[in-house]
Chains A and B, each alone.
Chain A
Amino acid sequence: MENSIQSVPQNWYLLLSTFMFCIGVMGVLLRRNAIIILMCIELMLNAVNLLLVSYSSYAGNAEGQVFVFFIMVVAAAEVAVGLALLVSIYRNVASTDIDILNRMKW
């Protein structure tokens, strides 16, 4: 298992997860559909997971992989709350476009 992770140079993991993280950030900033934004936030968190797993495998230190479990649990809780909020918005306005959420400004 260790070997298959380490068959790829470490910097490539860093590049890949930075790239995934940036895709997530751009998605959150540019997309207007709330569900896509939720997916992009998940993508950001998974980029972090990938980075942690690769670092922890290279350093021979399991702490990073335990941290990944924390992140996965919290991400699941977060999405549950986010989708619940989205459902209650959808019930009120019948849309998942976040441009509706502009009742309050300045």
Chain B
Amino acid sequence: MNTLIYTACLGLFGLLAEIFNLRKYLIPILVLGLAVIFSLNLQTWNNPQTHFNGMLSDSNFSTAFSGLALFIMLIILILSGDFYTSTDDEKHISDYMAILMFTLCGALMMFSFSNMAMLFLGIETLSISLYVMAGSRRFELKSNEAGFKYFLMGSFASAFLLFGIALVFGVTGTFSIDGIGNYMRMHADKLDPLFIVGMLLMIFAMLFKVSAAPFHFWAPDVYEGAPSLITALMSTLVKIAAFAAFYRLLSSCFVFALGKAEIILTISCAATLLVGNLVALVQDNFKRLLAYSGISHAGYMMLAIISIQGSTDSALFLYSVGYAVASLAAFAIAITVFKSTGTESISGFNGLAKKNPLLAASLTMAMLSLAGIPPFAGFFGKYFIFSEAFRNGCQNMVFVAIISSIIGVFYYMKVIVAMYSKPANEFEIKPTFAYQMVIAVCLIISIVLGLYPGVFTKLL
């Protein structure tokens, strides 16, 4: 809970920095603040507590995911220093930073909610901040379009979530997830049909939020149109927050009724895996490619959701860490390349290996980690999710997932081939110091986790 309050304070500080003319020092102060909050967050480890009359509850699950979210936001802040360089951006830097902090608040609420009100407020705090950030390039129609599409889809899905919450409240008479879980235990054999409708509406809304097929159509458009840094945020923090909330919701409220929803979740998982990987094959825009790759990763994470009976939270967490570090490294490199070449298409990466071999090697490592090739963290994340799903009787889904991850290797290779075997273009590409540091840190974490995955496997 302290994590949440201090993060909100940082957000308020960001707003005030405009008045006190601290814009120049804002990013270093926020980075420092987040690092402090990160270490404070570790104090809640093995120290479960509930706060605000059962609205929020700290657990190892929420501490681990909050730590990951704080780390991701720290990286995004470090990257933002060299990303927002135009005069218009510099004028609004404190607004951007404050909104990013509030996004983080929403994510933290989603990790530790124990009442439907907090789930709803967390999702909305996260989403409303992101609608603004996705549309923050006011004079670019593409950014406007991304923001507005995200807004329409997001609020549409939220309305379904609310209707589901209202129906579940009508049947159980409570918003607390423990209360709903108790109701479920007592009435597991004959559930009220309204309860099942409510549960399904909530599941649909969450599938929307995690961009699982067939509710994934907004994701590629929003990812392409939004500013690249915000795309990095959306494909890491937001996706992980949505999955953690989804996992927490299902495991604490609906675990006894999942038989009713299993077929929907399974179909959605298979469709997400196949759509994500197949459509990514024909993409030409790098951000869109990563968006579809993000959809396919949502499919792998769905495997952890459908085998939820076997408490797959460690596997989900390990996968999230591996995915987050690889994506952040890929986005840091991509932002550098976009900035130098002025294009977002994969052709911008042509011949990168000749001009900047180190950068090309880093992007290759990030891509291999995303594709799930050892010795990177992405491989072990996939391995643990697959083996957990296999153990819990989802053999068919594991088969689909393995097939689709083989398809996935092709489009990651497309970028690698462009870097190593296409003739070079004339642009000089050199990342700034902050970007070099971020890329190095992310890749080192990815390799270390790939070599010693045992650190996280039995964590939660």
A66-B115 Cα distance, complex, nearest whole Å: 13
- Known pairs A45-B159, A48-B162; A70 contacts B148 (CB<8 A): no
A86-B117 Cα distance, complex, nearest whole Å: 28
> For chain A residues 15-39, which have a beta carbon within 8 Å of chain B?
17, 21, 24, 28, 34, 37
- Known pairs A55-B170, A74-B124, A82-B151; A103 contacts B141 (CB<8 A): yes
> For chain B residues 215-229, which have a beta carbon within 8 Å of chain A?
220-221, 224-225
- Type the 1/0 row for A54-67, where 1 means its CB is closer than 8 Å to any CB of B: 01100101011011
Q: Any chain B CB within 8 A of the CB of A104?
A: yes
**Which A-chain residue is minimally distant from B145 (CB atoms)?**
A101
CB atoms of A93 and B279 under 8 A apart: no
CB atoms of A104 and B224 under 8 A apart: yes
**A106 contacts which chain B residues (CB < 8 A)?**
220, 279, 282
CB atoms of A104 and B142 under 8 A apart: yes
CB atoms of A34 and B163 under 8 A apart: no
CB atoms of B117 and A41 under 8 A apart: no
Q: How far is the CB of B431 from chain A (nearest CB, A)?
A: 27
**B159 contacts which chain A residues (CB < 8 A)?**
21, 24, 41, 44-45, 48
Q: Any chain A CB within 8 A of the CB of B460?
A: no
Q: How far is the CB of A64 from chain B (nearest CB, A)?
A: 6
Q: Size of chain A's interface in residues, with CB distance under 8 A?
A: 42
Q: How far is the CB of A75 from chain B (nearest CB, A)?
A: 9
**B382 contacts which chain A residues (CB < 8 A)?**
none
A34-B151 Cα distance, complex, nearest whole Å: 11
CB atoms of B169 and A64 under 8 A apart: yes
CB atoms of A61 and B162 under 8 A apart: no
A100-B415 Cα distance, complex, nearest whole Å: 32
Q: Any chain B CB within 8 A of the CB of A5?
A: no
Q: How far is the CB of B162 from chain A (nearest CB, A)?
A: 4
CB atoms of B155 and A104 under 8 A apart: no
Binding stretch for chain A, among B130-138, B294-302, B447-455: B130-138
CB atoms of B163 and A48 under 8 A apart: yes
**B155 contacts which chain A residues (CB < 8 A)?**
41, 78, 82
A105-B135 Cα distance, complex, nearest whole Å: 18
Q: Size of chain B's interface in residues, with CB distance under 8 A?
A: 42
- Known pairs A85-B151, A89-B148, A93-B141; A78 contacts B128 (CB<8 A): yes
A38-B117 Cα distance, complex, nearest whole Å: 23
**B128 contacts which chain A residues (CB < 8 A)?**
74, 77-78, 81
Contacts A24-B159, A61-B173, A85-B131 aside, 4 further interface pairs with beta carbons under 8 A come to A48-B162, A92-B139, A104-B142, A104-B146
> For chain B residues 161-183, which have a beta carbon within 8 Å of chain A?
162-163, 165-167, 169-170, 173-175
**B146 contacts which chain A residues (CB < 8 A)?**
104
- Known pairs A61-B173, A82-B155, A101-B149; A88 contacts B121 (CB<8 A): no
A34-B145 Cα distance, complex, nearest whole Å: 12
Q: How far is the CB of B275 from chain A (nearest CB, A)?
A: 12
- Type the 1/0 row for B185-205, where 1 means its CB is closer than 8 Å to any CB of A: 000000000100000000000
A37-B159 Cα distance, complex, nearest whole Å: 13
A47-B170 Cα distance, complex, nearest whole Å: 14
Q: Any chain A CB within 8 A of the CB of B94?
A: no
A41-B163 Cα distance, complex, nearest whole Å: 12
**Which A-chain residue is minimally distant from B225 (CB atoms)?**
A104
**A74 contacts which chain B residues (CB < 8 A)?**
120-121, 124, 128, 158
- Type the 1/0 row for B35-58, where 1 means its CB is closer than 8 Å to any CB of A: 000000000000000000000000
**Which B-chain residue is minimally distant from A46 (CB atoms)?**
B159
A89-B147 Cα distance, complex, nearest whole Å: 10
A15-B366 Cα distance, complex, nearest whole Å: 52
CB-defined A-B contacts under 8 Å, sample of 22: A48-B165, A51-B166, A52-B166, A61-B173, A63-B175, A67-B117, A67-B120, A70-B117, A74-B120, A78-B124, A82-B131, A82-B151, A85-B144, A88-B138, A89-B145, A89-B148, A92-B141, A98-B152, A101-B145, A104-B142, A104-B220, A104-B221
CB atoms of A34 and B148 under 8 A apart: yes
- CB-CB nearest 3 A-B residue pairs: A44-B159, A55-B170, A48-B162
> For chain B residues 277-295, which have a beta carbon within 8 Å of chain A?
279, 282
**Which B-chain residue is minimally distant from A67 (CB atoms)?**
B117
**B120 contacts which chain A residues (CB < 8 A)?**
67, 70-71, 74
